[in-house]
Chains A and B, each alone.
Chain A
Amino acid sequence: MKKTIITVVGKDGVGIIAKVCTYLADNDINIEDISQTIVSGFFNMMMITDMSKSKIPFADVSDELAKLGEEIGVVIKCQKEEIFDSMHRI
């Protein structure tokens, strides 16, 4: 099963990870790996997730996370792992 990569980019603040993780847990989306870094002064977080047991379809997760991001002042993107695999793995 291919994974979904969730990225969170924005200014660092209290509770960003907690809010995203709560949303994912509520929808039965499992987080397999989580890492973060600072790029050009911005907080970058990446989660590798498994959505195979998700309660709601990919498109809805993507839209709802984008909305959640707007509320807490960060940009949240959901992308299937294949795009990164294609570009960075032969």
Chain B
Amino acid sequence: MINISEVVETNQMIEKENLDVRTITMGISLLDCIDSDIEVVKKKIHDKIYNYAKDLVKTGQDIEKEFGIPIVNKRISVTPIALVGGACCKKPSDFAQIAIALDNVAKEVGVNFLGGYSALVSKGMTPAEEMLIRSIPEALSKTERVCSSINLGSTKTGINMDAVKLMGEIIKETAELTKEDDSLGCAKLVVFCNAPDDNPFMAGAFHGVTEADCVVHVGVSGPGVVKTALEKVRGENFEILCETIKKTAFKVTRVGQLVAKEASKRLNVPFGIIDLSLAPTPAIGDSVADILCEIGLEYAGAPGTTAALAMLNDQVKKGGVMASSYVGGLSGAFIPVSEDQGMIDAVEANALTIEKLEAMTCVCSVGLDMIAIPGDTKATTISGIIADELAIGMVNQKTTAVRIIPVIGKGVGETVEFGGLLGHAPIMPVNTFSCDAFINRGGRIPAPIHSFKN
């Protein structure tokens, strides 16, 4: 029988330490919506998403109420739209029309984001994929809830440098078209190396072609819970530190597993994966950087940060993996700047630079995330930053990503306010030496030698 101290512990995690289930994301395949007539495609997309997801938000709310655990986001991911729209879209604005249709159905079923305005071009681009990429600025400026992600490289294929170059320009153009909102469009756009098919987190969620018709994924979180647990072992050695993180991650993930199984049962949709992530929010006490400080750093970015993060990431996985029947997605600590008050503080104290963030991405999930840079940064410089980050993913056989926001009209020292979960960020300086000749070469970087495992 459950005892009162266990009940108090769980409820303290929820009420005081921001324990929550970060997202229930329903992945829906749109492959059967393909048609040569764009109006038919839009109707089929609406009907399919509506049929599967009409009860998603209500089910999430019911589970929240019955178990007393907040489920912050209810979201949808779909098949990469470059595949779905390839047969009917003849120009970029046709793709943008599909984005608007997706936005409308997202609003109709009440989800706050829908991911999958995507193309997977790690080796080469089809004409449809290039068209989708060229439509991103228009699509993101005309929609509110649609998120876009592009896979530009992988360990198996190398890096598509033509697409890297193009994405530098597309990110700039998206920033320009959404400059009235501090270039917010770029917060809904991410590029990947080794993108996972089953990621429930935005902006990078899409429903890969390896997936079933419809599945439910759950992303758990709880940086505040880990931080509070570590407060109790201050000054202890690494063995005790690691055990504490593992046990906490286990408990947090068990709650995610419960919610995932319940959601799957009630929606009559198979359970996909749990994404074991420490995903921060701008709320005080919900910060990954604060955990790094609790481990013993003055600020995130101080010497020792990469080692501390590597250890944290590994222990979260070790604890979480045992608590869930299927683990997938990104799984690890997220280090977005604008969404984490501790990271913002570190940038403002000049403790954290883009270069240090790049080093940190070698040892944790994802990559350069929610980083605001000066609006006059050149497109080729953005492409160079992307290429560096993707190279880390390619060589280390891990997912890496870049979600960077050149804030039009603002420079270093100024701050940008995105609001809500996206938070606010100081504009960070970028290395301004040129990489034009490197980016303009064209072609692709071959797959690394260790990808040939056959």
A residues touching B (Cβ–Cβ < 8 Å)? 5, 7, 9, 33, 35-37, 39, 44, 46, 48, 58-59, 62, 77-88
Contact = CB atoms under 8 A, between A and B. Distances in A.
B7 A58 contact: no
B11 to A, nearest CB: 6
Contact of A37 (B5, B255, B257): B5
Interface in B47-96: 62, 65-69
Given A79-B67, A79-B68, A80-B66, A35 B2 contact: no
B8 interface: yes
A82 to B, nearest CB: 6
A81 B65 CA distance: 13
B2 to A, nearest CB: 5
22 contacts: A7-B7, A33-B1, A35-B3, A37-B4, A37-B5, A46-B4, A46-B8, A48-B2, A59-B62, A78-B68, A80-B67, A81-B2, A82-B258, A83-B10, A83-B68, A83-B258, A84-B6, A84-B7, A86-B255, A86-B257, A87-B6, A87-B10
Pairs of residues from A and B, 5 with the lowest C-beta to C-beta distance, nearest first: A79-B68, A86-B258, A83-B67, A86-B254, A88-B6
Contacts of B9: 88
A83 B3 CA distance: 13
B69 A36 contact: no
B69 A83 contact: yes
Contact of B10 (A36, A58, A84): A84
A36 B11 contact: no
A83 B8 contact: no
Interface in B1-42: 1-12
Contacts of A35: 3-4
B16 to A, nearest CB: 10
Contacts of A77: 11, 68
Contacts of A44: 4, 8
Given A80-B67, A83-B67, A84-B2, A5 B258 contact: no
Nearest to A36: B4
A58 B66 CA distance: 8
Given A9-B11, A83-B69, A84-B7, 7 more contacts: A7-B8, A37-B4, A58-B66, A59-B62, A77-B11, A83-B255, A87-B251
A39 B8 contact: yes
B307 to A, nearest CB: 30
B7 A46 contact: yes
A5 B14 CA distance: 15
Nearest to A35: B4
A37 B4 CA distance: 8
Nearest to A6: B7
Contacts of A81: 2
A44 B10 CA distance: 13
A42 B33 CA distance: 57
Contacts of B255: 83, 86-87
A9 B10 CA distance: 14
Contacts of A5: 2, 7
A83 B69 CA distance: 8
Contacts of A85: 2
Contacts of B2: 5, 48, 81, 84-85, 88
Residue among B3, B7, B8, B257 facing the most chain A CB atoms (10 A cut-off): B7
B21 to A, nearest CB: 11
B58 to A, nearest CB: 12
Contacts of B254: 86-87
A33 B7 CA distance: 13
Interface string B247-280: 0000100110110000000000000000000000
A44 B65 CA distance: 20
Contacts of A33: 1
A80 B262 CA distance: 12
Residue among B8, B9, B69, B251 facing the most chain A CB atoms (10 A cut-off): B8
Nearest to B19: A87
Nearest to A79: B68
